[in-house]
């Protein structure tokens, strides 16, 4: 396990309880010992254990079965191991065999074998941690959104989508800025689909994929005889997108001479086909995208300053890298699994929490596109139904990258939202370990649990 598991020991024989605690602490478990059922209930309210070890018979008004029921009712992911005296194993086996939510994980018979104790607690803790992580993933999935194919649950993506919805209604030229693989074309399509131009043409030109000599013809069109091989008139993508949207991808790679011609079209709406003297006018909304720092390119003389300000005159949307929206990774994984199932007629149900942890710690240079390729490859090369760590590509399996996340843009969030986000990120950083989280936040464990409850994170 990645982090120290927390074990609550309930034993009214103090010496016996201390022996159990000492044996488990030597195996790096964090332990808390109480001697009565009432003390156990108080501890359950303060901190949910990964594993609860309780004697079947306890002094006082609560038995080990009472503690079991309270623990499973409050924290279903907690695994419970019962301790019973020799000769009364049937009572413990009954607790293991019963149906419903109050089933024990296992039992131990006095006198306890230390090696057996450590083995059972280790397996129970691993199961509890996996179950807790699965619950967190399910909660994330329930909060997820799918806006025109844009998948996520993070605050940063929700803010950009909110801006997208507003900007889609305008006629303004929009600049999309983001690393390769962040989904710029998907955002451009969403802008078009949510604009008054929806239903009209949506055309795409990758400025980096067309040679300089052909780019002008692709964009503006040409007339017959304009150059060798032009045997007929051909309308360009601006004309083809009339009434709709033209997406100019990787505009930072457009040659300077073409930038001047594009600027004139943006300012006047005029289009002059190659080899023609007749000016045409078309109604087109332009959306441009780049993975370059255009400001730096202007300073280097690679991008026209007037075109730069023309593109920035109205609005720019910055698409965050996958490193900045790690909380979206579990939702995206499931989305790509569902896609692979439809395309390849497979029946994968999901991934193990260990796979999610590994993918969330990877430093995705190719962003969402790279994640999609990894998940798709795993689904193609693996027998289902669940993707596990051994199914990861070798570069990810061997990777020890830990994502370094830059400070997020918190503008527009309330102080409560900022605190909630900070708690979520710190909790995730420590793999759900609440003790380490509280210490890192500089607050007491009780305060952390109260905040988790208040923000609905428990």
Domains of the chain: 6-141 (3.40.50.2300), 172-318 (3.40.50.300), 322-397 (1.10.8.60), 415-454 (1.10.10.60)
Highest-pLDDT range among 48-62, 348-362, 413-427: 48-62
What digits encode the pLDDT tens for the residues 307-334? Answer: 999 988 667 899 999 999 988 998 899 8
User: At 408, is the pLDDT very low, low, confident or very high (cuts 50, 70, 90)?
Assistant: very low
Task: Enter the tokens of residue 401.
Answer: 């990258």
Please report, rounded to a whole number, the percentage of residues in the chain having pLDDT higher than 70.
87
Closest alpha carbon to 304 in 352, 266, 350, 357: 266
Q: Is the pTM of this model over 0.75?
A: no
- Beta strands across the sheet bearing 106-109: 30-34, 6-10, 51-55, 79-84, 106-109
What digits encode the pLDDT tens for the residues 338-386? Answer: 999 999 888 888 888 788 888 988 889 999 999 999 999 999 998 878 8
Mean predicted confidence (pLDDT) in 26-34: 90
Flag whether pLDDT at 98 surpasses 90. no
Containing H/E element for 402? Answer: none
Closest alpha carbon to 102 in 132, 60, 138, 74: 74
Question: Helix count (H) and strand count (E) of the chain?
Answer: 19, 18
Q: What is the C-alpha to C-alpha distance for residues 311 and 288, in angstroms, rounded to an integer?
A: 8
φ/ψ (deg, to 5) at 209: -100, -5
What digits encode the pLDDT tens for the residues 144-175? Answer: 778 898 998 888 898 999 999 999 998 889 99
Cβ contacts of 336 within 8 Å, gap of 6 or more: 371, 372, 375, 376
Question: Average pLDDT, whole number, for the chain?
Answer: 85
DSSP code at position 274:
B
CA 346 from centroid of its chain's CA atoms: 23
**SS in 3 state form for 52-79?**
EEEECCCCCCCCHHHHHHHHHHHCCCCE
User: At 454, is the pLDDT very low, low, confident or very high (cuts 50, 70, 90)?
Assistant: confident
DSSP string, 81-118: EEEE-TT-HHHHHHHHH--STT--SEEEESSPPHHHHH
Of 104-108, 191-195, 249-253, 289-293, the one with minimum mean pLDDT is: 104-108
CB 307 within 8 A of CB 256: no
Burial 379-389 (b: 16+ CB within 10 A, else e): beebeeeebee
Q: What integer pLDDT is reported at residue 332 of this predicted model?
A: 92
Runs of H (alpha helix) within 275-407? 294-299, 305-312, 329-344, 353-360, 367-381, 394-397
User: At 102, is the pLDDT very low, low, confident or very high (cuts 50, 70, 90)?
Assistant: confident
Task: Enter the tokens of residue 271.
Answer: 């289009």
Q: What is the C-alpha to C-alpha distance for residues 128 and 142, in angstroms, rounded to an integer?
A: 21
Note the residue count of the chain: 458
Please report, rounded to a whole number, the percentage of residues in the chain having pLDDT higher than 90.
47
Flag whether pLDDT at 293 surpasses 80. yes
3-state secondary structure of 159: helix
Q: What integer pLDDT is reported at residue 35 of this predicted model?
A: 93
Flag whether pLDDT at 453 surpasses 90. no
CB 427 within 8 A of CB 396: no
User: At 412, is the pLDDT very low, low, confident or very high (cuts 50, 70, 90)?
Assistant: very low
What digits encode the pLDDT tens for the residues 169-191? Answer: 988 899 999 999 999 999 999 99
Q: What integer pLDDT is reported at residue 445 of this predicted model?
A: 78
What digits encode the pLDDT tens for the residues 67-80? Answer: 999 999 988 889 99
Question: Which one is predicted more confidently, 313 or 228?
Answer: 228
């Amino acid at each position: 396990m990645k982090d120290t598991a927390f074990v609550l020991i309930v034993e009214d024989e103090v010496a016996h309880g201390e022996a159990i605690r000492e044996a488990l602490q030597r195996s790096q478990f964090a332990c808390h010992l109480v001697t009565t059922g009432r003390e156990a209930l108080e501890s359950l309210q303060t901190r949910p254990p990964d594993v609860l070890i309780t004697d079947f018979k306890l002094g006082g008004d609560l038995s080990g079965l009472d503690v079991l029921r309270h623990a499973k009712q409050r924290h279903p992911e907690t695994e419970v191991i019962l301790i019973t005296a020799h000769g009364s194993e049937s009572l413990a086996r009954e607790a293991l065999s019963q149906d419903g939510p109050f089933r024990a994980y296992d039992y131990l018979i006095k006198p306890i074998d230390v090696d057996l104790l450590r083995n059972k607690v280790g397996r129970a803790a691993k199961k509890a941690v996996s179950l807790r992580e699965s619950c967190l993933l399910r909660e994330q999935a329930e909060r997820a959104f799918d806006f025109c194919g844009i998948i996520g649950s993070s605050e940063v993506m929700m803010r950009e989508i909110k801006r997208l919805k507003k900007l889609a209604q305008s006629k303004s030229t929009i600049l999309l800025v983001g690393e390769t693989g962040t989904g710029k074309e998907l955002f451009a399509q969403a802008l078009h689909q949510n604009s008054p131009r929806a239903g009209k043409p949506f055309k795409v030109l990758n400025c980096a994929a067309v040679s300089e000599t052909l780019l002008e013809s692709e964009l503006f069109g040409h007339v017959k005889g304009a150059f060798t091989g032009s045997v007929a008139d051909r309308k360009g993508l601006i004309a083809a997108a009339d009434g709709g949207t033209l997406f100019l991808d990787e505009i930072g790679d457009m040659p300077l001479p073409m930038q001047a011609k594009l600027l004139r079209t943006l300012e006047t709406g005029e289009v002059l086909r190659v080899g023609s003297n007749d000016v045409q006018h078309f109604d087109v909304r332009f959306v441009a995208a780049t993975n370059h720092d255009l400001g730096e390119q202007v300073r280097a003389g690679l991008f026209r300053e007037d075109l730069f300000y023309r593109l920035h005159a109205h609005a720019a949307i910055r698409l965050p890298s996958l490193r900045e929206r790690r909380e979206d990774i579990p939702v995206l994984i499931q989305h790509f699994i569902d896609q692979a199932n439809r395309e390849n007629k497979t029946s994968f149900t999901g991934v193990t929490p260990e796979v999610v942890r590994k993918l969330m710690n990877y430093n995705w240079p190719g962003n969402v596109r790279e994640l999609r390729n990894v998940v798709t490859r795993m689904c193609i090369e693996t027998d289902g139904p669940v993707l596990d760590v051994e199914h990861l590509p070798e570069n990810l399996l061997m990777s020890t990258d830990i994502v370094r996340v830059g400070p997020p843009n918190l503008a527009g969030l309330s102080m409560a939202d900022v605190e909630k986000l900070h708690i979520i990120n710190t909790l995730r950083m420590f793999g759900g370990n609440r003790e380490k989280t509280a210490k890192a936040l500089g607050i007491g464990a009780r305060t952390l649990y109260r905040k988790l409850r208040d923000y609905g994170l428990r």
